[in-house]
Structure 1
Amino acid sequence: MGDTVFIGSCGGTFYALEKASGLARWQYDIRQDGRQTSFHGDPLVDGSRILVATDHSCTNDGIGHVYAFSVKTGAIEWKLPSEVGLSTNIVRVGSSGWVGRIDGGWARFELATGRSQGSVALNKANIPCELPKWIVASGRQLFTVGRDNAVYSISQSGKIRWRHELPAPASTPPVIFGHDILVGSDDQRLYRLSGRKGVLSVYSELTGVPIGRPLVIGDTVYLFLSRADGSGAIAAVRAGKPLWIVPLSSKPSSEQPYVRNTTVLAGMCDGTLIAVHATDGEPAWTLSLDGCIRSIGGDGVALFVGAEQGTVYALEP
């Protein structure tokens, strides 16, 4: 954002870094506010503020917050405490923000003040804890996947509009696709659900289980695949048919394909950054870095890569 890169570390610190030098403009250690150490979702920029959610993964006594930091100074404009971790990205629906809870519910709050506006909870089930899938918003509704593996549409006021179960467990969060949404599943398919009523259809048959977060650009869907033998792939799908599938020796460790100019990027846990051509999947280049790559971002000029071990790389064009 502007001349600043924002990133959260699993050590419990949220950083604002100068793009040019990587030096910290400001930072905040969330551990001073209780048992929380992690950031598992993208922040939301709201004017002069940046909002981020926190958790302590699946620990029983972990807590969470939503923080609203001043982009320039790091001053806390407000913070919303939670008795459980808040473990997804934050999305805007009208004047409200939404975030996924570690217990499987979704919390709603006023963006301007951080005032809680309640939550939507599912019936508690004896399901092992897992990080909730990211959420998306379109118009005045929220789309999400529950711990019961059903896909939900939730209204701006917090009412469940529709709920539909997939033929197999969901393997990805939903992604907006025109007026509809797409969700990957364990049966190696991408399913399409209409935004209005949730009418279900098969969008694409694939050669592996979709993982991470699919990326939609125009009429093309880019996604990662995981295969039973431990290998992986990068795929591009258009009009329900794979355009190309690039096999990989293992599944990508970055959360989402990143499209940069005419290439699609994937990060691997051995530190390899892979780029293939978006048109045909042919190799473009590779780069070896230190650390398991978790995040890839950019500003149209520089490319930024975050590794699990705590290193952030700024790569020249």
Structure 2
Amino acid sequence: MKYLFSFFYISLFLLGARSALYAQQLARTADRQNVVSGSKITNKLQLKWKVQTGGLLYGSPIVYEDQVFIGSCDSTLYALDKHNGSIIWRYKTGGEVRSTVAIDQQMLFFLSSDGIFYALDVHSGTLLWTFETQGERLYDTWDYFQSSPAVEAGTVFFGSGDHHVYALDAKSGKLIWKFKTGGIVHAAPTVTAKEVMVASFDGYFYCLEKNGDLRWKFKTIGEHYFPKGEIQFHAVAADSSVYFGSRDFNMYALKIKDGSGHWVYHQPGSWTSVPSLAGKKLIVTMSDSYSVLVLDPVYGGKIVEPAVPLNVFSSASISDSVAYFGALDGTLYQLDLLKGEIFPVFQLDLSKKNSAYFFDEEGRLKSDLQDRYGHDIHKLFRGYLEMGSIFSTVWIDDATLYFGAADGAIYALQ
């Protein structure tokens, strides 16, 4: 009997410590599949808590043990109690924080617009070490994110506005290697057992060996207005394939081994944003087509393409047969993967207040928007922020959804 009790308590300990045993990062894992099973999310989500920061939020929250971590454009990284939103600690940097943290072995890693990569103690926010890059920079109006690190087997990987991909020793911050691309690297690296895969604004997708050597690189096709075929978002890897989108209106599926092609899916008139993977369905958020693609990952055929009101620039977070994502209209949506239908599940107060300025009574963008913004597309997209646009990838933690928004607030829904 005593052995039975011992086994019982050991099992409880292991379950409680599980989050401490595995690294947590953007899209949950280093391969960026962004899927979790067994969550208990209700169909009628309500606001559990909301915490206001001093700047816009582009990065995504990460939940680790009982804390939520997210950076803000007020140059601060926040650690919050996941149950009530109370601030446990905060860390001030010298620039906006648009990078999503990665956490492993009680250490937290992120990049700031000051060009410095930080490692903090996850519980106290104490600085452990820093690494200085050659500086950050923005590519254009739609370059919303900085590279979010991937951490795997004691090494942390990230990209930089200085055109490099870096690999650092997670414990000391010592440079292991760096690899130079031809452009800004704001995509998060996608890491597997043997490869580090990352894209650049130069229009190339790079597959590197774990020692930093180039295995292969793939050039996107390019498009009339975006001839480089810039790649700004992370890829997702599964089995022997890697999937990523580009500003050239294409979604690519390549073989990880040698970079040869599986398929290319063309989306007329729209960037393909961020992929995530749910078994036999590849979910791809989209920009100007105002839709979400669900593709067959093997052959690239379209399964369904439900509509959304506005651009989506985050990964769809998948829980069993349901996916969650936010859009520039300040609304959180649910995609039923079985029915292929999308439903709004939560609208920000700022969106409720200002959406009528952008949408007519039937939910379509008003025809005179371009005239009102002087046909300046940059001003228009800055205007969308007045609805509290959601750029965060949602973090699913059992029965709760966490995300940040352009209204500067961090949200927990249950």
Query: Is the Cα contact below 8 Å between 1:94 and 1:140 reproduced in 2?
Result: no
Q: Which structure: larger Rg?
A: 2
Q: Counterparts of 2:249 and 2:133 in 1: how far apart (Å)? A: 36
2:73 equivalent among 10, 27, 30: 10
Partner residue in 2 for 1:251: 311
The one-letter code sitting in structure 2 at the alignment partner of 1:241 is G
The one-letter code sitting in structure 1 at the alignment partner of 2:285 is F
Query: Is the Cα contact below 8 Å between 2:133 and 2:162 reproduced in 1?
Result: no
SS at match of 1:97: strand
The one-letter code sitting in structure 1 at the alignment partner of 2:405 is A
> Which deviates more from structure 2 when the two are superposed, residues 275-284 or residues 67-76?
275-284
1:77 equivalent among 103, 120, 128: 128
SS at match of 1:68: strand
Partner residue in 2 for 1:294: 391
How far the C-alpha of 1:303 sits from its partner, in A, is 0.9
Equivalences for residues 48-197 of structure 1 within 5 A: 48-55=106-113, 63-85=114-136, 87-122=146-181, 132-168=186-222, 169-171=229-231, 172-197=233-258
The one-letter code sitting in structure 1 at the alignment partner of 2:391 is R
Residues 1:275 and 1:309: Cα distance change in structure 2 (over 3 Å): same
How far the C-alpha of 1:17 sits from its partner, in A, is 0.3
**CA displacement 1:215-259 (0-9 Å, x = unmatched):** 1122221111233xxx4101211242222111123212x511122
1:276 equivalent among 316, 326, 335: 335
Q: Tell me the C-alpha RMSD between the 2 structures.
A: 2.2
Partner residue in 2 for 1:234: 292
> Which deviates more from structure 2 when the two are superposed, residues 77-86 or residues 243-252?
77-86
Alignment coverage as a number of residue pairs: 295
Which protein has the bigger strand share?
1
**CA displacement 1:156-179 (0-9 Å, x = unmatched):** 111111112122315443221321
- Length-normalised TM-score, structure 2: 0.66
**CA displacement 1:127-165 (0-9 Å, x = unmatched):** 7xx662222111122111233211111111111111121
SS at match of 2:340: coil
**CA displacement 1:185-218 (0-9 Å, x = unmatched):** 3454322211111112324344553433211122
Gaps of 5+ in 1: 56-62
Query: Is the Cα contact below 8 Å between 1:206 and 1:242 reproduced in 2?
Result: no
The one-letter code sitting in structure 1 at the alignment partner of 2:151 is R
Gaps of 5+ in 2: 1-63, 138-145, 223-228, 351-387
Query: Is the Cα contact below 8 Å between 1:260 and 1:300 reproduced in 2?
Result: no
SS at match of 2:89: strand
Q: Counterparts of 1:133 and 1:72 in 2: how far apart (Å)? A: 27
The one-letter code sitting in structure 1 at the alignment partner of 2:251 is L
> Which deviates more from structure 2 when the two are superposed, residues 19-28 or residues 142-151?
142-151
The one-letter code sitting in structure 2 at the alignment partner of 1:103 is D
Q: Counterparts of 1:195 and 1:15 in 2: how far apart (Å)? A: 36
Query: Is the Cα contact below 8 Å between 1:191 and 1:203 reproduced in 2?
Result: yes
Q: Counterparts of 2:322 and 2:181 in 1: how far apart (Å)? A: 40
Q: Counterparts of 2:342 and 2:204 in 1: how far apart (Å)? A: 37
Q: Counterparts of 2:248 and 2:107 in 1: how far apart (Å)? A: 41
- Length-normalised TM-score, structure 1: 0.85
SS at match of 2:129: strand
Query: Is the Cα contact below 8 Å between 1:43 and 1:90 reproduced in 2?
Result: yes
Q: Counterparts of 1:179 and 1:187 in 2: how far apart (Å)? A: 24
Q: Counterparts of 1:30 and 1:162 in 2: how far apart (Å)? A: 36
- Is 1:21 matched with 2:84? yes
- Is 1:313 matched with 2:313? no
